[in-house]
Amino acid sequence: MEPELSGTWYVLEGEPGEHLVVEALGRRLSGVWTTRAGAERFLAFHPELGMRVSPLESRALKEAFLRALGMLKVEAVLVDYQPGVHQARLAQVEELLQEVRRA
């Protein structure tokens, strides 16, 4: 797993089982941040989402999150995305899931 994704992940959650999913260019995407501050900054741009930042510290929590995204037909996650930035790193959900399982 890439070094910045080997630590705690921060994700946006709403009600139990509700995760941030966006559609862009015909693809279903979600987000993962490597710092709480980064996730909070993103959320500050979109308070209407009514979501909160949750840490995923263990392999089991990361795997459960990725499996949930798979059930939601999410193809990839944007890593450390911030509004107004025209480029973000994309990580495929299936590849991340394989990496987490190997860790």
pLDDT tens for each residue of 14-34: 887 788 899 988 899 999 999
Give dist(CA 9, CA 65) in Å, integer: 10
Give me the domain span that covers residue 60: 3-102
Q: What residue type is 17 in one-letter code?
A: G
The CATH number covering residue 75 comes to 3.40.1350.90
- The residue to which tokens 């709480």 are assigned: 36
Which residues pair with residue 90 across a beta bridge? 78
Give dist(CA 57, CA 9) in Å, integer: 7
In this prediction the pTM is 0.89
Give dist(CA 73, CA 6) in Å, integer: 24
Domain count, the chain: 1
Token duo for residue 26: 């015909």
42-55 pLDDT, tens digit each: 999 999 989 999 99
DSSP state of 33: B
